[in-house]
Structure 1
Amino acid sequence: MDVHQQSTLEADYAALELLLDKIAAADSTPCTDAVVAGLAERHERAVRRMESIGNRRILEVSDREAFRASGCQSISEFVATTLRITQPKKRLRAVQSLESLHAMTGEKMAPTCPNTARELAAGSIGADHVNVVLDVMARIPAAVTPERREFAEKSLAEYATTLTPRKLTAAGVRILAHLDPDGTLTDDRDRARNRKLSLGSQDSQLMSKLSATLDPTTRALFDVVLAAWAAPGMNNPDDENSPRGDKSDAGPEAVREAADRDHRSQLQRNHDALAALLRSAVDGGLLGTSHRGLPPHVIISMTETQLRERAGVVRTATGTDLPISDALTLAADAQMHLAVFDDHTDEALFYGRSRRLASQAQRFVAFAKYRGCSKDDCSVPFAHTEMHHAEKDWADGGRTDSNHLAPACGPHNRAVGPEPHQWTTEKITEGPDRGRYGWRRNTDPPDRLRANRLHRIDELLDRHRASRDGPRGEEPCHAVVTPLSPPGFDIAWPTPVIRWAA
């Protein structure tokens, strides 16, 4: 693209934004009802056409690695954070299926779903239709011939121009049944491709939805687990005398008596069996001894106020919110040993140049302080981060000292550097983020220093409440009490005063 084309495209987008402002300010009162309805249809068609053009823009960003100009390390991060698209994975899947990608040899290939791409570009179908088409195409058995696959995509695109996404899904089911009426074409490749398990976000009650598509072997194994661990009376959290683990570990009489007291549904027993199995794996050492420098246990951060008042929500190192009552129940079952840093500790927190990797104690300190990746707007929980030498990179003489370290996820840890598209980390000296490291992009003039507050929303709300209602007679808690690896449960406990061990 030459300079003239570039300036023309920029001018066209500027003109579009002005036209949108004009349309938004326009009054439709003089229009007839038929005209108003027609305008709504034309508007929706224009939005769909813009979706298609937006896919092309995203592909251009990916091909040219232009996401680095926004400080992102991948097209996925650019779509999720810079564009703030609700379902970035689905949007990228649409780009890959509807746009002409480059082959390894450099030439452009035809879109995987050309008919769907054409209809979206014309505005006759929307993003929801596209997702249905791609979902159906992903479920077509690998053994189906290319010709029949192409016919299926063409049929789906045609149906999409007249059907709602829900009705299009039903049509897709019928197409799949027609392509493989007796299921003989489905093979191990299809089963392997379609296996999945997803854990949804926590809702307002801190509950999470687990959904899965299990392959036959995993289903058979899970059936065995449920038969033994989800039997009536087994692993009942509401019955302290309920046998734990497998039925074979308890006497028949104890199981029978527990079953008589068991009023749970089968679905609730399945849930409790899974919880007992996960607890057994964590407490039994099946997860090994370390994950990114931390023991593979349930690790939480709580304040003295939460412990004293038995109220509030605590955060685990993997990003889960736990009611304080559940956290204390876990703590009661663990053999905990707390090493409080406000008095003394045998754990070294300052290593200087003597070692490069952070110790477990240093990671506990960082967890209590940051709770997740320190890069602004990054939602990666602490358990999936690395320890970043935030004051100065290790290769440049940085020190492995607790006050010079900050957690960063892998992509953001590698994003730090001197290049214009990279980032610099610097300690914040004032405000609510004082003492933590912030991030700024290497721009000219320098970008502002930004801290990540996503993982500390509760703390900020408490600060706001305190500033509004007045002090509660306590100093804010920012430091840590670290545990000595009890089985299955660890606490990183903020305390008001810290004396670091040399």
Structure 2
Amino acid sequence: MRDTSQVDVADEPISRAEELVGELHRITTELQAVDLTQCSDAALVDVAAETERAIARLGFAGDRQIVEATERDLPRKTGHRSVIQFMTHRLRVAHPMRRRDQMSATATFPSLTGEPLPPQHPTLAEAFADGRVGSAHVHAVLDVLDQIPHAVDHDVKVAAERQMAEIAVDHTPADIAALGARLLALVDPDGTLADDTDRKRRRQLYVNRQRADGTAKMTANLTPELLARVTMLLAVWAKPGMNNPDDPESPCGSVEDADPEAVEAAAERDTRTPAQLNHDAFNALLKAVLDDGLLGKSHRGLPTQLIIKADLDDLVREAGFATTATGTLIPITDLIKLAADTQPWLAVFKDATAVPLYFGRGKRLATREQRLVSFARPDGESCSTPDCGIAAAHVEIHHAQLDWGLGGLTDITDLAPACPKHNRLVGDQPGQYTTRMVRDGPDEGRCAWRLNAEPGAPPNPERINRRPDIPRRFAEQLKQVRTDIH
């Protein structure tokens, strides 16, 4: 462990930290070669989970050691010009800048008098120290918290930190960014994060100079209104097999208006990337708009229009955000401007559950109306599968209580939104999902998913997509913070 090439340290006693690190390496060596076939299935799952937890805890321990080394001025003493250089070359830290941000948020630093100061984000630090979140989770949370303006009240910031730490424990780093965007809308319901003046000032679309091959790069900052329209348009035109300029038999226009067999055949020949799909769809869309003005009639049962749902309280306050069927958040102030040309619908739900009691505008429910009431539900803006964020514009309607082929009913209380991928994964085989509608309790009206395990293997728990719980849980966190403070 020690470098004895320049200094004779043979007479120095070995510290407990050195002993622990040496023991850690011995344990790690043994763990790398241990016979895993002796573990039962349940034991192996636990061993793997606890190993990942230990990795996260070691990250927290490593940060503490870097803080101590910095306090002792070891970067300079070892010949490095900065802490970052010391971390990069001496400690072999892969991403020193991000590691520094992680330490700043979760590590304990001494004050000028030597007393330890609490971490900047104590709840996140506690979860990190316990191994319930890893470095990637920490960075995802910090990216969200850094967007909270300084003008926000202290208690709101503390509640947001607690809420994001709670989210990090149960979600992937990729999910944290999406869920954090929803939290930011709650933290700043009046739009101080980006008011109308800022959005107008930032809006831009650049078509850069043509390259030698004739192509050009286009970059843009879109207002929420334009973003909502663009995402809806791409949802129905940028599908594999559609609007392919290299395939003369590729259907043009909206996928909902094309022959399904032709689309399927063209999709098998389609080798374009998602970005190329978007480009070709945008090109075809503009051509259709300019030539014929066509946008298609429907998409997965939803009308090809800007479909938005908003909370009545937010409309009354003229603050907060509404949600489109493509998952885009639109400020209420912008929604009010669009309301003059909208077709209003009313949905009424039982208490605070997702059980619809009434939906309509004076006509009998039909397929399209069922799609709209599914989106209107508190949990209807995305796929009901846990950790899935596919927006309502891209989902199918899943017979969650009982499959249609087994006699299930197409009643709205038995249906749940499911993206095509997860809808196809429902079945009774290992690796597939079993679903049911929750009939009572706080999750009444929501769809529970269970991943099927092999016979004799440890069963997996039922899970529910908790994305819609963020507003409620944040309100509870804020109330608790204010109680603690005041």
Structure-1-length-normalised TM-score: 0.38
Bigger relative contact order (CA 8 A; separation at least 6): 1
Structure-2-length-normalised TM-score: 0.39
